[in-house]
Amino acid sequence: MKARWAFLMLLSCAMGACATPGSSDEDAGGSGQAGQSGQGSGGHAGTGETGLAGTTGTGRGGSLGSAGTGVTGVGGTVGEAGTSGAAGTTGVAGTNGTTGRAGTTGTTGLAGTSGAAGTTGRAGTTGTTGVAGTTGKAGTSGAAGTTGKAGTSGAAGTSGAAGTSGATGVCSFASGLNVAWVNFANDVPNPNIATFNTIFKNTYAAGGRVVRWWFHTNGTVTPGYNTDGTVQDLPQSHIDGVKAILNAAHSAGIAVNISLWSFDMLQSNAGSTHTQNQQLLENDTIRQSYVDNYLTPLVTALKGTPGLYSYEIFNEPEGMGPNGWATYRTTEAAIQTCVNWFAAAIHAADPNVLVTNGAVTFDYCSTVSGKTNYYSDSQLRSVGGMQGGILDFYEVHYYTSNSPTDSCFMHPASYWGLDKKLVMGEFAAQTTEGVNQNDLYTSLYTNGYNGAWAWSYDTDYPWPDMQTAMQNVYNAHTSAVNSCP
């Protein structure tokens, strides 16, 4: 990174920019069967299967009238000349938010109770299989009578996230590129939509489906600080600005990874704002004000917006860490705490959206050769204390200046010993370690990576440097690329 960053830091002084980025019929009088539980798929709600009532029966005459079964939850007709109708059994509550089948009814048969909505299951720590939602509580029973009516059905419980990454929404191969910015740190509140439209259109035409875009960057425009250092309340204009970008992306067939912050927050290009940024990184009160006043309202406002793929907490935060290159520095623990707190807030506000973080090299996101994965679930929870503050997939960057030992073009994704899906969030759109420039994306796909975002549409290795490489992997693996997002 050194050679690259030396060039980019000079560039940032001139431009204010940084270059990194059957049911079956039920027998009369039998108990109602539980509906099957909905399973998670893509982090979306599972759908419970509603139990059906049995076919209509008519009681025969005799000393004891048999209970009739009901159609769609309504009991059968009363047995004729019976001394007393046998009571229908109570329908068992549906597990996991599914509807229990109605019990058969007699003279005083009660309706089966229904399952209420199950709570949302969270992804497993290793992400191998998402845990299902908890069992729904019993609903209120139907009114008793000659023909008891079925109780109202419970809503289907939402599904637990699943998949090797901890969320099935992670693409098999997220092919695309970096925009980084159109106007450094200043795309919101008034984005240049004409330029974004061109970028998104060109990316899609070349087979790309995801664009990585920087939001706050160095914090000079957004989010904004009060005089006491706390973060200002989220303005509607900021929501509108981000939505405009997402809408433009969606119209072109593209989804966006929103990178919230960059190491630039502690660069000289942040000006005096770097002091407030440092407090946000290190002070619990200031950090919480960002969560409460800005981040949670933003994620809530954007929830379900077409064109949103994921949130990225930081671009290369290690640059402002103890061994970084930024003008000012913070601690690794402060970085991990922010990743943990912000990821927890995002997951709480929108359980279905993905969260990642852009590590500068595998030195910070790997378990080989004595390296530490600072962004593993255990590390983030231990340092930050928030159980929900974990990543859904890993994102790492690579340039030849980092040393070939850290090269994604010399090692398969499995080499790094990671427990989640892995996207290469930055790399140079040029021939690298013997891999031809036009084969870079295909090489990453073949070696088990889950995405490739070349740097960058408008700087260093600009468009159309990555165009042919994107087109080649699309042509070779169309279904995989088209499945994203």
Position 169 scores a pLDDT of 85
Position 152 scores a pLDDT of 38
User: Which fold, 169-482?
Assistant: TIM Barrel (3.20.20)
Range(s) within the chain of domains with CATH label 3.20.20.80: 169-482
Q: What is the pTM of this model?
A: 0.68
HEC profile for the chain?
CHHHHHHHHHHHHHHCCCCCCCCCCCCCCCCCCCCCCCCCECCECCCCCCCCCCCCCECCCCCCCCCCCCECCECCECCCCCCCCCCCCCCCCCHHHCCCCCCCCCCCCCCCCCECCCCCCCCCCCCCCCCCCCCCCECCCCCCCCCCECCCCCCCCCCCCCCCCCCCCCCCCEEEEEEECCCCCCCCCCCCHHHHHHHHHHHHHCCCCEEEEEEEECCCCCCCECCCCCECCCCHHHHHHHHHHHHHHHHCCCEEEEEEEEHHHHCHHHCCHHHHHHHHHHCHHHHHHHHHHHHHHHHHHHCCCCCEEEEEEEECHHHHCCCCCCCCCCCHHHHHHHHHHHHHHHHHHCCCCEEEEEECCCCCCCCCCCCCCCCCHHHHHHHHCCCCCCCCCEEEEECHHHCHHHCCCCCCHHHHCCCCCEEEEEEECCCECCECHHHHHHHHHHCCCCEEEEECCCCCCCCCCCHHHHHHHHHHCHHHHHCCC
Q: How does pLDDT run along the chain (485 residues), one tens digit per residue? A: 434 444 334 334 333 344 333 333 333 333 333 333 333 333 333 333 333 333 333 333 333 333 333 333 333 333 333 333 333 343 333 333 333 333 333 333 333 333 333 333 333 333 333 333 433 333 333 333 333 333 333 333 333 333 333 445 899 999 999 999 999 999 999 999 999 999 999 999 999 999 999 999 999 999 999 999 999 999 999 999 999 999 999 999 999 999 999 999 999 999 999 999 999 999 999 999 999 999 999 999 999 999 999 999 999 999 999 999 999 999 999 999 999 999 999 999 999 999 999 999 999 999 999 999 999 999 999 999 999 999 999 999 999 999 899 999 999 999 999 999 999 999 999 999 999 999 999 999 999 999 999 999 999 999 999 999 999 999 999 999 999 98
Position 168 scores a pLDDT of 54
